Amino acid sequence: MAEKRPIRVVLAKVGLDGHDRGIQVVARVLRDAGMEVIYTGLWQTNEAVIRAVEDEDADVLGISLLSGAHMSLMPLLINALNEHGLGHVKTVLGGIIPETDIPELEKMGVAKVFTPGTPLPEIAEFINDSALDAIGIHECVGKHASFRGDSRLRYSRADGIAKDLTLSTHPAPPLQMLRRCRLFQGIGPAELQKIAEQVQHRHFDSGDVIFRREEPGDSMFIVAQGRVKCVVEQEDGEFELLDYEEQGGHFGDLSLLVGGLRTSTATAVMDTELLELSHDRFQSLMMSVPGFAANLSRSLGFKLRGHTNKRPSRRRSAVVGIINSTLRTQALVKPLAEALVHAGDSVEVLTDRKRAWPTQGGYLVERIPDSSDGSSRSSLVRQRLSQVVEHHDRVLIDLTQSGVEDSLPKLLDQCEEIWWLVDPLFVETAHRNLNSLLQVNPKLASRIHLVWILRHSERFPPITLYDLGVNPLDFKVVLDENQSEPSLEQRKSISRLVRHLHGTRVGLALGGGAARGLAHLGVLRALDRAGIFFDHIAGTSVGALMGASYAAGWTPENALEHFAQELTPPWLVRKLPTGNGFYMWCMYMLNAWDRKLRPYLHEYRIEQFRIPFCSVAVDLISGSVVVRDRGDAVDAVLESINLPGISRPILRDGMALTDGGVLNNVPGDLLVERGNELVVGVDVVTKLSQQFAGNTPLMATHEMRRAGPIETLLRVSEVQNYGITAMRSGAIDFMISPDTSRFEFTDFSRAYELADLGEAAAEEAIPRLSELIAEHEKGR
């Protein structure tokens, strides 16, 4: 007969739940009922719970949840149990659980839900009976047996639980940290112990500089926990990201191998635990522990391969603070988390809302408990972050803007990036709160991005909050009132946020070509329909005009309607032999462009556009390209479309400005300079019409017609654009080239035909472009 043993119960507090008095009472009741109870402690991850159930050969798993996250935590935990072959383990749940949620939890596989007020004997009886039913009366001893001698309450302190990873007061021993690092894989226990005796444990708070470039390189570091960013400062003052080092990573070793000074600056981007190995001890280990030397060589080889391939390191923020100002701004985190999961990320949300929401998006939501003590609340979140960042690509900390002078600055100190969400209707409150935050902790300014939460009726956010010295890169997000079927504008907005977090950007360069540039709108219409969106737009001449309308939030169809109406010459003018050219000349001479654009763009600035945008003009005084990515939007467009020879240069700020196509007709290089790794271009003059003023290459001399001055100037501009584009297209990764050669440079009256032509060219290119973008994003 098999030896009888007591029922074995693992109890756990999962997630951000710092109250365990109740579960300790339950543990003692179960112990007194003759069961063996293993309590794993506070702040458990699913991974730690699964390990405890496996290691302890548990019969029952009891979860206590007071955070309101049961509808998001429990499905993941039940699935994990099944995946590990532990579906036979009875799972019970206790906590503040609404009655309406209990049927759904039981459907998931929770055997029983105990709500506040359930008698303790009832809990013990159910666990006893369910365990005996599941595994047999002869294998276990419960309350109906006389076995009492070995009943006990044990506390599990398995690797990976919060108590082992408390950063400030209870760091894990070096040997335990080394076991988690890939640099020491395959090294035997004796040698690993030898290494553990050689390293020094170091703690760095978020934002601390570990070492700076040009300092003596007298040690290397191993990341036991946390995250480190390594950068190189360039001559222009900008920083080039070399790499992120996370748990198991190492840095600083190159200085020890080759001697000399540090080649980069290393900074902790969250509270971080490091193991430091001095120069002398490093050299000793290289000689005495062959496995260490082999692992280090292999790791450096992978890093060298990345640099040899010249693939730049992408900035990936793992911990992002999302700071809400209103109920409306709170609506962002759900579609954002779902989009990140759809893009392949593992996501967890920590929120201070009163109740965590149920999710169907494959991500985890945990509630940060209320606390009158901001310091303890901050400490709790720091400890939890140290766990979840190891198991998730992205952690979103969803907070309100209240508590600026209490816990909020301390919570945000752990965030690599902070999104300050602003509802345009409550901009003064957001401004006041942000100003107060920066007075408490001015170092946060460089991490803060403004995120404007717009309604569909709000095309432009107010031009405020930009005077507080925060990061100049901001985002405009259009959120739907009804989230059941996200609109095109919301999907565009969210896609830009996702790409930003992945450290990728896809830019669109729109070329000049006068009336032929109306084909851009057809290209954009097809790309929108295919779900191909862009993070930055640059335009030259008519490309600036069309690009500005799109970046400002007009749909291609809407913009086409307005441009067709505003730019088509009157019927009588169109009947004249050179009426279209005459009409364009009048547009410049009478300053009509400004009068036609102001009713739409008013005095709005480029910074207020929904998509980052820049236009290109040329300064005839310095002979250089002038790029506008800030300032009055209409002024920027007028400078870029200012055709030389037909219109006088625009005199402004010591410059004489004319059409950007003189030097850069499809400005893909500007997008590369602004961090876009993949650049799509649209060239509407790639095929030059083989006729001018009615003349063709096969006409006899006596049959040829003399061209007028305006006609000649327009043709010169067309030929110039054609040549410039051919010479400067090297920065374009993918070019869409509608054949507009049968249209005149001044055919604005044929707007719809040109748009249809552009749409057809884009549709033909979309399959190849989609593959290219997918490959680009896969390489993140």
Task: Read off the CATH number of the domain in which 56 is found.
Answer: 3.40.50.280
Same domain, 578 and 686: yes
When pLDDT is cut at 50, 70 and 90, the band that residue 358 belongs to is low
- Computed over every residue of the chain, the mean pLDDT equals 83
Task: Read off the CATH number of the domain in which 533 is found.
Answer: 3.40.1090.10
8-22, 65-79, 257-271, 519-533: least confidently modelled range: 8-22
Same domain, 30 and 173: no
134-148, 550-564, 577-591: least confidently modelled range: 134-148
Q: Which is nearest to 178 in space by CA: 159, 154, 153?
A: 159
Residue 621: CB partners within 8 Å, gap ≥ 6? 654, 655, 656
Task: Quote the tokens at residue 734.
Answer: 């993918």
Same domain, 689 and 562: yes
**What is the structure's pLDDT at 159?**
31
Same domain, 682 and 696: yes
Task: Read off the CATH number of the domain in which 280 is found.
Answer: 2.60.120.10
131-135, 245-249, 492-496, 734-738: least confidently modelled range: 131-135
Burial status of residue 684 (CB atoms within 10 A of its CB: 0-12, 13-18, 19 or more): buried
Same domain, 549 and 574: yes
Could you tell me if residue 314 is inside a domain? Answer: no
Backbone phi, psi, residue 407, to 5°: -90, -25
When pLDDT is cut at 50, 70 and 90, the band that residue 602 belongs to is very high
When pLDDT is cut at 50, 70 and 90, the band that residue 299 belongs to is confident
Could you tell me if residue 290 is inside a domain? Answer: yes
| CA–CA gap between residue 187 and residue 223 (Å, rounded) | 18
Same domain, 276 and 420: no
Compute CA distances 301 → 244, 292, 413, 422, whole Å: 16, 14, 34, 45
Active site residues: 541, 659
Give this prediction's pTM. 0.71
| CA–CA gap between residue 18 and residue 14 (Å, rounded) | 10
Over the range 14-45, which residues count as b (16 or more CB within 10 Å of their CB) and which as e? bbbbbebeebeebbebbbebbbbbbbbbbbbb
∠ CA 547-548-550, rounded to 5°: 65
Q: Which is nearest to 555 in space by CA: 537, 529, 536?
A: 529
Could you tell me the residue range of the domain that residue 19 belongs to? Answer: 5-158
Could you tell me if residue 338 is inside a domain? Answer: yes
Residue with tokens 């640059």: 538
Could you tell me if residue 120 is inside a domain? Answer: yes
Same domain, 471 and 531: no
The residue length of the chain stands at: 780
When pLDDT is cut at 50, 70 and 90, the band that residue 714 belongs to is low
pLDDT, mean of residues 100-113? 93
Same domain, 490 and 514: no
**What is the structure's pLDDT at 610?**
96
Name the residue with higher pLDDT: 582 or 676: 676
**What is the structure's pLDDT at 354?**
78
Same domain, 452 and 512: no
Could you tell me if residue 32 is inside a domain? Answer: yes
Tell me the sheet residues that pair with 316: none
Residue 569: CB partners within 8 Å, gap ≥ 6? 579, 580, 583, 748, 749
Could you tell me if residue 501 is inside a domain? Answer: no
DSSP tag of 313: P
**What is the structure's pLDDT at 310?**
45
Secondary structure class of 765 (helix, strand, coil): helix
Same domain, 209 and 258: yes
Of all residues in the chain, the percent with pLDDT exceeding 70 is 84
**What is the structure's pLDDT at 209?**
94
Integer-rounded Cα Rg, in Å, for the chain is 32
Last residue of a domain, one of 249, 275, 308: 308
**What is the structure's pLDDT at 164?**
26
Task: Read off the CATH number of the domain in which 377 is found.
Answer: 3.40.50.300
Last residue of a domain, one of 158, 188, 214: 158
Tell me the sheet residues that pair with 141: 6
Last residue of a domain, one of 496, 515, 544: 496
Same domain, 325 and 462: yes
Compute CA distances 344 → 223, 387, 663, 664, 767, whole Å: 25, 20, 41, 38, 22
Could you tell me if residue 313 is inside a domain? Answer: no
18-22, 99-103, 695-699: least confidently modelled range: 18-22
182-221 tens-digit pLDDT: 777 778 788 888 888 888 989 998 889 999 999 999 999 9
Is 450 a residue whose pLDDT tops 70?
A: yes
**What is the structure's pLDDT at 371?**
64
Residue 153: CB partners within 8 Å, gap ≥ 6? 27, 28, 31, 37, 39
Same domain, 427 and 383: yes
199-203, 296-300, 587-591: least confidently modelled range: 296-300
- Which H or E element spans position 671? helix 668-673
pLDDT, mean of residues 102-117? 92
Could you tell me if residue 543 is inside a domain? Answer: yes
Instruction: Please tell me the total count of domains within the chain.
Output: 4
**What is the structure's pLDDT at 187?**
81
| CA–CA gap between residue 530 and residue 693 (Å, rounded) | 39
pLDDT, mean of residues 582-600? 88
